[in-house]
Amino acid sequence: MADSAVPSGHAPAILSARGICIAFGPRTVLDDVSLDVAEGEIVALLGPSGSGKSTLLRIITGLLRADRGTVELDGRSIDDLPTHRRNIGLVFQDEQLFPHRTVAQNIEFGLRMQRRPRTDRTRRVAELLAVVGLPGFEDRRVTDLSGGEAKRIALARTLAPAPRIVLLDEPLTGLDRELHDQLTVELARLLRETHTTAVLVTHDRDEAAAIADRVVRMEGR
């Protein structure tokens, strides 16, 4: 269950999840959870594993349907909108890069779905590779990337189509300490520089504090 979670400032919420409930068989994972995120705000959902943080992200993206509750984006309910029309980005914990495509093809995937012209896409891919610090990686195979590189490419792929809000599911888990700390700083800078509204799921208190404007605690059930 989340704390009563409203934005710290007075900016209106662009994302608003209300009274979300979901159960898998006999196991209730989310029970009346609500979350508001304001424009440009970076919120961290902090909680132990099994507290339903990732499940909440999946419900917001529409990959999973809640048993009860509603999700609003810019004041309109998106409950009946399929995932691909929601314009909500998700960075998966294990990246989920398309293994049969190059780095550039991964990043431009969302742009192709938006039918952006090729020159436009090429420019945007180069721009994002520069943002995540991997310029010139266009033609690499994603299966050859290191752990840290794959995380950056996954972030670039999610940012490329400029979604209304970016959800990050434990994006820095599974890295060694040094790389983790380095990427934490980078991610915080990067999200701010790109004025991204984001929800970050993590079980690491320091990570949450370093990246987020506001930390919301979720308790395991």
Partner 1 sequence: MSARDRNGLSRWTIAALAAPAIAFIGLFYAWPVVALVHRAVTAEAFRTVVHDVSLRRILWFTAWQAAISTAATVVVGLVPAWLLARYEFVGRRFLTALITVPFVLPTVVVGAAFLALLPQSLDQSVVAILVAHVFFNVAVVVRGVGGLWSLLPPDLVGAARTLGASPWRAMREVTLPLLAPAIEASASVVFLFSFTSFGVVRILGGPSHPTLEVEIWERATRLGDVGVAAIVSIIQLVVLGLAVLWFARIQSRHRAAIGLRPLANRRRARGWAERGTVAALSIAVVVAVGTPLAALFERSVRTNAGHSLVAWRAVFGRRQLATGRPTAVSSLDPLGSLFTSLRFALIATVLSVIIGGCASLAIVAMSRTGGRSRLGRALDTGIMLPLGTSAVTIGFGVLVGFSVAPLDWRAAPLLIPLGHALVATPFVVRVLLPTLRSIDPHLRDAASALGASPLRAWREVDMRVMVAPLLTGAGFAAAISLGEFGATTFLTRQGRATLPIAIEQLLARPGAVLHAEGYVLATVLALLTFLVIGAFEGVRSLGDRSG
Contact set with partner 1 (CB under 8 A)? 24-25, 58, 61-65, 82-90, 92, 94, 96-100, 109-110, 113-114, 143, 157-158, 161, 163
Q: From CA 131, how far away is CA 151, in angstroms rounded?
A: 13
How far is residue 81 from each of residues 166, 172, 194, measured CA to CA in Å? 17, 29, 26
CB atoms within 10 A of CB 63: 12
Cβ-based nearer residue to partner 1, 138 or 181: 138
Cβ-based nearer residue to partner 1, 39 or 67: 67
Cβ-based nearer residue to partner 1, 82 or 178: 82
Residue type, 193: E
**Helix, strand or coil, per DSSP, at residue 55:** helix
Q: From CA 175, how far away is CA 4, in angstroms rounded?
A: 32
19: alpha, beta or left? (left if phi > 0; alpha if psi -120 to 50):
left
Report in angstroms how near the CB of residue 6 gets to partner 1 at its nearest: 26
Cβ-based nearer residue to partner 1, 62 or 69: 62
Cβ-based nearer residue to partner 1, 92 or 217: 92
Report in angstroms how near the CB of residue 83 gets to partner 1 at its nearest: 4
Given a contact cutoff of 8 angstroms between Cβ atoms, the answer to whether 38 and 207 are in contact is no
Report in angstroms how near the CB of residue 55 gets to partner 1 at its nearest: 12
Report in angstroms how near the CB of residue 99 gets to partner 1 at its nearest: 4
Report in angstroms how near the CB of residue 181 gets to partner 1 at its nearest: 26
